[in-house]
Amino acid sequence: MDTDNTIDINRELLSAYLDDALTKADRARIEMLLRVSDSLRSELAEMVRMRQLFAAWSPPAPDRFFVRRVDIKIQEEVARMKNRWGLQKFATAAILLISIGSLAFLTQRLDKTVEPVTLDAFLQSSLDREVREVASLTEDDFSKDRVLDLVLSDNTR
Amino acid sequence: MRDSKSSNFSHIEDIQIVARVLEGNTEAFSVLVKRHHERVYNTVYSLIGDLDESDDLAQEAFLKAFHALKRFRGQSLFSTWLHRIAVNCCLDHLKSKHRRSFVSLDEHGENWDAPRIWMGQSKDADVGVERRELQEILECALNDLSEEYRVTFVLREIEGLAYEEIAEILKCSIGTVKSRLFRGRTKLREILQVQYDNWIEA
């Protein structure tokens, strides 16, 4: 006597038999069972009829503008993608330009504010200043007080 | 202009058209839409059961396919790949909202009569009306199935896909497809039991 489980397995095989999706061995098994089982034959007949029932059912067709609507949406999407790509390129170019501009500006500023001074140039410029100061002295500047002032101011500089 | 372009593709395989689209000829995608829109729409409608939603979802499926075209490797047929996208759109949609039954069988009440076309009692003049009635009943019965049974049943019974294709679309084993089909058919019979018994007896 078949258990419930065996019956279920056979019915599942029957469903696959209907779809011609059984292995040779399973097909032979179910065909043997069909020969001896009225209930299984009846169940197969019901499955076939249900299939006929659904074969009579036809889903409605899309309207004739469906393809056009999809075409329009696709082309809109393409345009949007192109715009997005264009904006991205523009933004990248702008960032690059700003970066290069800033770099150039900073380099220029740096050139002007920090002039490289060699030791020789520094000494020469100090000597020139001393010479100019001495040359600009008048007779009064050689008075005792004035010389003292100059010496003191030099020492405190 | 577009039609003449499209006609050039009439004897070209889907995968070659995909290559053209990826090369930048986006208008070629229209050929794929023309080739597959009816089947995609039918599948979506079978799964969703609502005209407006089916229209939107079928369009969404094509848009998603267009965006994902780079990922199409040609390992399966383009139609199988497209169907997978359409089915996934439907599954996502069904998950995102509680499934809406446009007319539930329960709404017909206990005194609801099976269409006479089932019982062979229909006159020719009634056939159109009976057929519409039958369509509605079958849609309702499908709507009352759980999603996994419904999807599997529709792909097999309405779309006529092989078990292997269904398994590929649903990313499950062939054994699972067999099992779901068996259970789905059993459940459908239960749903349609009263009407079905009348029909069988007839």
Say whether pLDDT at B6 is over 60.
no
Instruction: Please state at what angle helix B127-143 crosses helix B174-191, rounded to 10 degrees.
Output: 120
| Number of CB pairs, chain A paired with chain B, less than 8 A apart | 99
Return the domain boundaries, chain B: 1-100, 105-202
- Decide if pLDDT at B103 tops 60: no
> Cα dist. B40→A6, B58, B87, B202 in Å?
38, 6, 9, 35
Query: Rounded CA gap, A87 and A72, in Å?
Result: 22
Question: Which pLDDT tens digit goes with each residue over A37-74?
Answer: 898 899 899 899 889 888 888 888 899 999 999 999 99
The answer to whether domain B1-100 and domain B105-202 are alike in fold is no
Q: Tell whether the model's pLDDT for residue B99 goes beyond 60.
A: no
Q: Which CATH number fits domain B1-100: 1.10.1740.10, 3.30.70.1290, 3.20.20.220, 1.10.1270.20?
A: 1.10.1740.10
Q: What is the pLDDT of residues A104-148, one digit of tens each?
A: 888 877 766 666 677 788 888 888 888 887 777 676 666 767 666
How close B33 gets to chain A, by Cα (Å)?
A: 6
**Does domain B105-202 correspond to CATH entry 3.40.50.1980?**
no
**What pLDDT digit, counting tens, does each position of B122-174 carry?**
455 555 666 777 777 888 888 888 888 998 999 899 888 899 988 988 889 99
Whole-angstrom distance, CA of residue B121 vs CA of residue B108: 20
Q: Which residue has the tokens 């089947």?
A: B39
Instruction: Give the best residue of A57, A72, A82 to mutate against chain B (max B CB count within 10 A).
Output: A57
Instruction: Give the chain A residue whose CA is nearest to the CA of B45.
Output: A59
pLDDT per residue over B34-56, tens digit each?
999 999 999 899 888 888 999 99
Q: Do B138 and A19 touch (CB under 8 A)?
A: no
Find chain A residues with C-beta within 8 A of B118's C-beta.
53
Question: Which of the pair, B1 or B168, is modelled with greater confidence?
Answer: B168
Test mutation, A40, A47, A51, A53, chain B, max B CBs within 10 A: A53
Expressed in angstroms, the distance from the first to the final Cα of chain B is 56
**What letter would DSSP give residue B155?**
I
pLDDT, residue B104, reads 42
Find the closest chain A residue to B57 by CA distance.
Answer: A70
Residues in chain B with CB shorter than 8 Å from the CB of A67 are 30, 33-34, 37
What is the ipTM for the molecules in this complex?
0.70
Which of A17, A70, A76 to mutate to test binding with chain B, by most B CBs within 10 Å of its CB?
A70
Q: What is the pLDDT of residue A127?
A: 84
pLDDT for the residue B113: 43
**Rounded to whole angstroms, how far apart are CA atoms A76 and A74?**
5
Average pLDDT, chain A: 82
Residue B119 pLDDT > 50, yes or no? no
CB-CB neighbors (< 8 A) of A49 in chain B: 199-200
Name, in order, each residue with C-beta under 8 angstroms of B134's C-beta and a sequence gap of 6 or more.
Answer: A53, A56, A57, B115, B117, B118
Buried b (16+ CB within 10 A) or exposed e, B92-118: ebbeeeeeebeeebeeeeeeeebbbbb
* Calpha distance B57→B80 (Å, rounded): 17
| Residues of B in Cβ contact (< 8 Å) with A78 | 26
